[in-house]
Amino acid sequence: MVGISDGDSITVRCSDRPQERVRIAEIDAPERSQPFGKAAKARASELAFGKQVELEVVGRDRYGRVVGKVRLPDGTDFGREMIRSGLAWRYLSYSKDASLSSVEVEARSGRRGLWADSQSPTPPWEFRRNKTNSMKQRKKRRRN
């Protein structure tokens, strides 16, 4: 493990290839500018920074980043732990592991992490979509 970008993106160095940015499979954590974004990054650092992890590559995203599952030294699944901590959602559009939903429900009912303040925080995919739409509207207003 080389670095933590945010709650769902890390940089790893593998013995057989150069360091690579990895998007954690099946989860979506708050963006850095969202409430709990910094807490998600801090939790990710606590879990994995400076530790030797196991990476299972499951594909690449549209930005060319590796998408993978990460196992921590004790065998814990990094993504599952982020959801359990209440600092990530199961990314329904990309998740095949239905058991992650029950982990999220536990975090919600336990009011952990982002669920402590609200029962309906804005998921990152909605935050990004709203941000993109706002930027498009601003550009359109500038042109007119």
DSSP 64: S
Would the pLDDT of 99 be above 80?
yes
Per the annotation, the verdict on 23 as an active-site residue is yes
Q: Is the pLDDT of residue 142 over 80?
A: no
Say which of 13, 20, 26, 65 is annotated catalytic.
65
104 is catalytic: no
pLDDT digits (tens, 9 = 90+) for 33-84: 999 999 999 999 999 999 999 999 999 999 889 999 999 999 999 999 999 9
List, in order of start, the domains of the chain with CATH numbers.
3-143 (2.40.50.90)
Catalytic choice (31, 80, 81, 104):
31
Please, what is the average pLDDT of the chain? Answer: 90
Report the pLDDT value the prediction gives residue 119, as an integer from 0 to 100: 67
The closest of 6, 47, 31 to 132, measured between CA atoms, is 31
Catalytic-residue membership of 65: yes
Query: Band of the pLDDT at 144, cuts 50, 70, 90?
Result: low
